[in-house]
Each structure stands twice: as structure tokens, then as C-alpha cells.
Structure 1
Amino acid sequence: MIQDSKSRVDLDILKNKINDISAFFKNTLSSTDNRPLVGWFCTYTPEELIVAGGFIPVRIFGRKKIIKSESYFPINFCPYIKSSWESLLSDADNFKAVIFTNSCDGMRRFFDTTNKYLKDTPSYLLDVPHLRGAGSIDFFANNIGNMKRFIENLNGKKISRREIENAVSLINRKRKLLKKYSQIFTKLPELISISSYFKVMELSMISAPEIFTDDLERYLKFIMEAGAENITKLQPNYKNTPAIMIIGNFITEEKLWGMLSAMNLKLASDDLCISSRYFEKQIELGDDSDFLDLIAERYLNKPQCMRMADLGLKLKEIENNIIKNNIEGVIFISLKFCDTVLYSFPLLKQKLNQLGIPALYLEIEYNNFSEGQLKTRVQAFLEML
């Protein structure tokens, strides 16, 4: 009994150490890299070209308090866009440029607003097709070429093939390590909290990729060594816990992840644009390959967003994930007023019913939700499972 108590204490100390993200990523958090920043919003944005152009790609997460931006958009408008516009109104001078995609009608209106009111901040709208076929890849490759020229104009110099190859290699390495981290997280849920997992994912999108990737590699090495030593102590705690999959859009709510961590929810898989849709699939460049085609192919064939036209393909992706990870319940989380995602849920619910998988639907504001209400609903859902 005394030995078991000591093991539990040792495990708690180890868990606290692993979840001290600021300690493992201190180089990332204290970086003095002076390269100019280029902001981006959507995972269909090729980071490789931003890096090759000599910039740091930074995903804009927005501000928690929305004050000024309310006067620019309707009340029933995407809260993430409002939050991001609030950020740009205050911090536009921090960015050399901002790159948008036509991911939804709201984002297109966001681009128009930025063009009108922030004329000193260059902005570019990348047109992403809604299909994945050969014609779509050619179309997207041409648009990526236009984006490349936009970045070249920012820097006043051409981007060489060698610079693109180096950038592809770097971002591939980051994606590979993030995928490895995701796999470790699902295998060792007691060591890595949900909050820490998504904190690392967010850092990967706002940090200098070279520094972040080095920090992540050291972090993974420590976790793997610690996990190997303590694996026999970990499994019983989650043996009878149902495996949950979270599906949604741009969910970055720290309080939500903290709430789920405190409930010891076993997150076995996810389909979110701040996680798997971001790091899945590599770019393979050959000696004679057309790098624009290969970049376009990677981005169109990664786990797709609900904005893509072939929803049947998306449902198949989710079904494969459910079977592969033995998912027992799905939590579907959407930001308010996200029509693209809301239109998809009825068909997804129908598919889950066919698979015999219970689902819980949650709709939240961006950076603002009722924790008590959501906690009650999630607890009831888990008890039902």
C-alpha cells in the first residue's frame, strides 16, 4: 500500500513536469528571431512559401475581448473573425502582410474589410478550390504561384527552388513531430493533459518553426523515456474510460480544454483545424518535380475541412478514424454562426447513428462560453457511455 502511494506521488510529480509547457518550450517562448511576420488564418495556407520568403508564419488567434470590431460586422457573424479583426485593428503594424483564404463567405468579407480599412497592411486572398481532382490541383497550384509572387514582392527578391526545398523540409519535420506527439498523447492520456496537448499545437502555429521544432523534439524525447519507464502504472487508470473523438472547427478555448482535462476525458482522436487537419500529410519533392503542384496536392489531400464540396469523403475520413481508434462517443463542437460546419452536422449525425456511435453537439462563442452548463452536459454524456 505504501509502495502504491509512493508510485502515485512519483507519477503526479512526473505529470506536473511534463505539463509544464513553458519549461520545455522556453526557447520558443523567449525567441528573439527578428524576421518579419506574415499572418495567416486557414490550414489551407502554404506555410512553406512564407518561410521560403524569409518570414515567420503566424496564425492569428484573435483577442479574447471584442470591442472595436463589433461596429464592423453584423451581430450574427463569425466570432473568430470578429476576434481576429480586433487583433488586427490593434496589432496590424506587427505584420508585414496577412494572407486570407476563401474558406467561407465570412472570411472573404473579412478580407474585403481589411483591404478597405488597413490599406498599409498588404493582404492577399488565396483562392482554394472546393474539390480535390486533378483540375483542382492545377487550379490551386496556379493560385499558389500567385501567392508566391505576392510574397516575393513583399521582400523584393525572388524565392529560389533551394529556399522552397529547405522550407518544405523544415515544415515536414514539424508536421512529423506533431503527428508523433499526437500519437503519444493518445497512448499516454494520464501523462499529457488535453490542455497541454492543444497548447503545444497552438505554439506550433505562432512560433519560428526552426526553434519550435527543436524544442518539440527534446520534449518528445523526455516524454517517451518517461512513458517507457512508467507505462505499467498508467494503463489501469484509463482502462474503463470511453474513447472520445472531438470534431469541430477553430476551437482554441483554453477553459474548455482545462475543463475536459479536469474531467479525465480520454481524447483518442480529433478532427480539428488546430490539430490533425494542420499536421497530417507531408510534401515529397523530387529532383524534377513541379513544387507548386506537389504543394497544392498536399494541401488539397490533407484531412479536409467541412468547407469542401465532397462531404461524403469527409464522412468517410471520420468513419475511418472512429474504427481505427475504437471511438465510443463523439463530441461535436462548433463556433456560433459557422454555417459551413452547422450544415454538416445533420449528415454527420446520420452517419454516426448508422455506426452506433452516440454524439453530443456543443455550440460555443469564441473565447467565451458557459463553463458550468457545458460541464454538466459533457458529464451526462460520459455517464451515458
Structure 2
Amino acid sequence: MSDIEDILAQLREGAEHPWRAVEQAKAEGRAVAGCVPYFFPLELVHAAGMHPIELWGGGSSTGAAGSYYPAFYCSLLFTLMERVLDGSYDDLDCVIVPTTCDGLRNLEENWKFARPDAAIIDVVQPTVRTTPEAHAYMVQQLHRVAERLETITGSRITERAMRTSIALYNRQRAALRRFSALAARHADSIAPCMRQAVFAAARSMAVERHTALVEQLDDALAALSVHEFPGIKVVLTGVLVDSPSLLVELEKNGIAVVGDLTISESARYSHDVPGRVDPFDSLAALWERVRGVSVALDPLKERGELLAALVRERGADGVVMCSVKFCEAEEFDVPVMKQQLEAQNIALLVLEMESQEVASEQAATRIQAFAEMLGDRSGTGFCAADSREGCARTHENG
């Protein structure tokens, strides 16, 4: 267990202190590119010899972004703009902004207005993703981004570098997919907060180091006997589940996370980049392969069915959706997803999160009620008070 704890500590440090990776990259003489969600291929940044860091906003809200966005914009957009205005992103050499929602479509211009010297690179990801025309357009967009990155670094992005980067990131995807499956079988070792940290660390750490740590963690978990978790098991979904207080609340109520279809976690790593002749062609194909998330057009509305399949595969008791408040794409998915899960007798808890980082008292109460309902349904005899006592001891021991 000491090896697992040591690896988890390194990954948690990477998740909690993302800008240390930026400082290290700068010290090594590498340029740093900030990548705004969602689904931009980081391989292209890596192949340019730059260090990519994903920008998900977060942190305190001062209200300064209110001069750029109305109050009903989602917290992700609001806090991204807050960090632009407070200078958090000033040291980045460039910022790549995909345009997959209305808020992101105007973030580029707002950023330029607030920071005229910033190098902002927009990427227009086609809404209709699966036609030959959409694919050709995405290839064109990636070539345009590559040209901008070459201007910033002063060096050409070679095919060999792109193939090397694609192989590295595919290896990371495989390691994280394996981790998700192993963590489901070892909920005693991987609490919800620690599971989230493993994925969150990938947003800032060098891909080589992160992948090596996750592969070591996978091997260590695989060597353990399977743990039969006695409490409630759930699958998460949403855009971002980064609230430590919410994840701790799950643990306090005897709930383990055994899988997810979350944009910032497993949905990002569900498919590899294919090995086609043209690496730009390969990277463009990744956007076409995204399934079951609100920010990618899904005429078939597969999300509920994909979640139901994951619930069955992992032996989960229900689904918890963390919806970013005022995110229209997420809100549109809820009725259909609820209907699909109800048809298969799968319980769904929808938590609307106004902040990415803080769970309200109402959310805590609803989590407790959800756990008790699932405990009654499964006949586990779950007791929230007993679980809280055990969790408190866990946190006291670090």
C-alpha cells in the first residue's frame, strides 16, 4: 500500500498545484500553451515542443467578469474570465480556445479585449462532426493552429514529432481507461477525491510523467485482491466534477465512484487517436469519436444508454450527475437521460452546481437522501452516520 499511497500523493500534488508544471516547463525553456475545454488534441501542442495546460477556470469569484458576461453564464466561463482579469494566465505564451458552446464563442474576443497582448488561437470545431466535409474542415483548422504554434516557437512541427506525441497520448488514454476499471474494484484504496485527482493531474502534468505514474498505479492496484465494497456504488456524469466538498460528501455517505462519463475525466480518454497516414487526419478523427457528452452534437442521444451500460458493467447502484448551473447543453440532456435511465430502473441524482469547487448544504442533504434510498433498495443496511464516522477517521489520518 505504501507504493500506492506514494503514487497517489504525487498525482494529487499535480492536481492541486497545476502551475508548478508551468513553472518547470518555463525553467526548462519550453513555451506553454493554455488549452480551454473541450476536446482540443493536446498532441499538437506537445509536437510543437510546448507544454500544454488545460484551463478550467475555478477559484474565487470577485464579480469582475460581470462586465463581460451576464450573471446567468456558467461558472466555468465566469471563472475563466475572472482568471484572465486577475492575471493568472498572463505567463502563458498562447491560449487555444475551441468554440463548442455560445459562451466559448465569445471568450476569444473578450480575452483579446481584456488582454490585447495575449496570443489567442481560436478553433472552430464543426457542430456536425461525422460528415466528410466536417472532417476536412477540422483538418484545415488543425493546420491553421499548427502554423500559429510554429510562429510562436520558431520551429516547424514535423510529422515524426506528431506521431510521437500521438503515441504518448494514446498510451496515457490506455492507462487512464485501465485505472478507471481497476479503481472500481478497489474502492477501499481509491476514494472519490483520489480518483478525481488522478484524472485532474493529467490537465497540467507532463504527459510522460503522468502516464508513467498512472501505469505504476495500475500495476500496483492489479496486484491487490479485489475489494468487495460494502456501500453504495455510483457512476458520475457531467462536464466537470471538481468539488472536493462534494466528493468528500459522497465518501462520508458510504458512496464509492466506480466509473464516469464526465467530460473532464473518462470521456476525454475513451477513444484513441487512430494511426492514419496523415497525422492531422488522425487528430481530426478524435472529435468525430466523442460520444455521450452534452458539448458534442448527439442526434441519437446516447448518453443515457452509455451510462446504463457502464452501471451494469461496474455493478453500480445509480448515477449522479453534476450539472454546471446555467449550462444549457447539460440542461437539455437531463430530461432525455432521466427517461432513459428510469426505463432501466436506474436511479439518477441531478445536482446543479453553481460553483465548481463548493457543494451546498442542499447538495449534501440530497446526497444523504440518495444514499439512504439506494441503501434501502439494495438491502445493504447502509447507515450514513456510521459511514461519516469512518470517513472522519480516514481524513484525520491523512
| TM exceeding 0.5 | yes
Partner of 1:22: 9
Q: Distance in 1 between matches of 2:155 and 2:315?
A: 50
Partner of 1:128: 125
Partner of 1:302: 290
- Tell whether the 8 Å contact from 1:44 to 1:128 is kept in structure 2 after alignment: no
1:91-110 aligned at under 5 Å gives the runs 91-110=88-107
Partner of 1:57: 52
SS at match of 1:91: coil
CA drift of 1:24 comes to: 6.2
SS at match of 2:90: helix
- Tell whether the 8 Å contact from 1:27 to 1:211 is kept in structure 2 after alignment: no
1:306-385 aligned at under 5 Å gives the runs 306-315=294-303, 316-385=305-374
Q: Distance in 2 between matches of 1:312 and 1:373?
A: 33
Compared with structure 1, are the counterparts of its residues 17 and 167 closer, same or farther at alpha carbon in structure 2 (3 Å cutoff)?
Answer: closer
Give the residue type in structure 2 aligned to 1:318.
L
Partner of 2:136: 138
CA drift of 1:165 comes to: 0.7
Partner of 1:45: 40
Give the residue type in structure 2 aligned to 1:97.
C
Compared with structure 1, are the counterparts of its residues 24 and 308 closer, same or farther at alpha carbon in structure 2 (3 Å cutoff)?
Answer: closer
Deviates more, 1:342-351 or 1:135-144: 135-144
1:196-207 aligned at under 5 Å gives the runs 196-207=194-205
Q: Distance in 1 between matches of 2:2 and 2:244?
A: 19
SS at match of 2:52: strand
Answering whether residue 237 of structure 2 is matched by residue 247 of structure 1, we say yes
Give the residue type in structure 2 aligned to 1:58.
I
Deviates more, 1:361-370 or 1:113-122: 361-370
Partner of 2:154: 156
Compared with structure 1, are the counterparts of its residues 253 and 16 closer, same or farther at alpha carbon in structure 2 (3 Å cutoff)?
Answer: farther
- Tell whether the 8 Å contact from 2:36 to 2:98 is kept in structure 1 after alignment: yes
CA drift of 1:144 comes to: 1.6
- Tell whether the 8 Å contact from 1:65 to 1:83 is kept in structure 2 after alignment: yes
- Tell whether the 8 Å contact from 1:37 to 1:56 is kept in structure 2 after alignment: yes
CA drift of 1:55 comes to: 0.7
- Tell whether the 8 Å contact from 1:186 to 1:267 is kept in structure 2 after alignment: yes
- Tell whether the 8 Å contact from 2:56 to 2:80 is kept in structure 1 after alignment: yes
- Tell whether the 8 Å contact from 2:75 to 2:354 is kept in structure 1 after alignment: yes
- Tell whether the 8 Å contact from 2:84 to 2:114 is kept in structure 1 after alignment: no
State the superposition RMSD in angstroms: 2.3
Compared with structure 1, are the counterparts of its residues 269 and 22 closer, same or farther at alpha carbon in structure 2 (3 Å cutoff)?
Answer: closer
Partner of 2:390: none
Partner of 2:80: 84
Partner of 2:256: 266
Partner of 1:74: 70
Give the residue type in structure 1 aligned to 2:109.
D
Q: Distance in 2 between matches of 1:260 and 1:341?
A: 22
1:170-319 aligned at under 5 Å gives the runs 170-225=168-223, 227-228=224-225, 231=226, 234-235=227-228, 238-239=229-230, 241-286=231-276, 289-315=277-303, 316-319=305-308
CA drift of 1:297 comes to: 1.2
- Tell whether the 8 Å contact from 1:137 to 1:297 is kept in structure 2 after alignment: yes
SS at match of 1:95: coil
CA drift of 1:96 comes to: 0.6
Compared with structure 1, are the counterparts of its residues 16 and 376 closer, same or farther at alpha carbon in structure 2 (3 Å cutoff)?
Answer: farther
- TM-score normalized by structure 2? 0.84
- Tell whether the 8 Å contact from 2:42 to 2:52 is kept in structure 1 after alignment: yes
| Per-residue CA distance 1:185-204 (angstroms, 9 max, x = gap) | 11111111110111111111
Q: Which runs of 5+ in 1 are unaligned?
A: 1-13
| Per-residue CA distance 1:288-337 (angstroms, 9 max, x = gap) | x1222221112320334212332424334334323433443121211111
| Per-residue CA distance 1:262-289 (angstroms, 9 max, x = gap) | 3231222211112111111112325xx1
Q: Distance in 1 between matches of 2:325 and 2:11?
A: 34
SS at match of 1:271: strand
Q: Distance in 2 between matches of 1:125 and 1:291?
A: 20
Compared with structure 1, are the counterparts of its residues 363 and 140 closer, same or farther at alpha carbon in structure 2 (3 Å cutoff)?
Answer: same
Q: Distance in 1 between matches of 2:122 and 2:264?
A: 20
Give the residue type in structure 2 aligned to 1:22.
A
- Tell whether the 8 Å contact from 1:19 to 1:193 is kept in structure 2 after alignment: no
Q: Distance in 1 between matches of 2:12 and 2:319?
A: 31
SS at match of 1:268: strand
Compared with structure 1, are the counterparts of its residues 337 and 15 closer, same or farther at alpha carbon in structure 2 (3 Å cutoff)?
Answer: farther
Give the residue type in structure 1 aligned to 2:259.
S
| Per-residue CA distance 1:327-377 (angstroms, 9 max, x = gap) | 431212111110111011111111112112121111012235444321211
SS at match of 2:93: strand
- TM-score normalized by structure 1? 0.87
Q: Distance in 2 between matches of 1:48 and 1:357?
A: 37
Q: Distance in 1 between matches of 2:100 and 2:5?
A: 36
Q: Distance in 2 between matches of 1:331 and 1:93?
A: 36
| Per-residue CA distance 1:241-266 (angstroms, 9 max, x = gap) | 34312111122112211221232312
Q: Distance in 2 between matches of 1:124 and 1:351?
A: 39
Give the residue type in structure 2 aligned to 1:74.
P
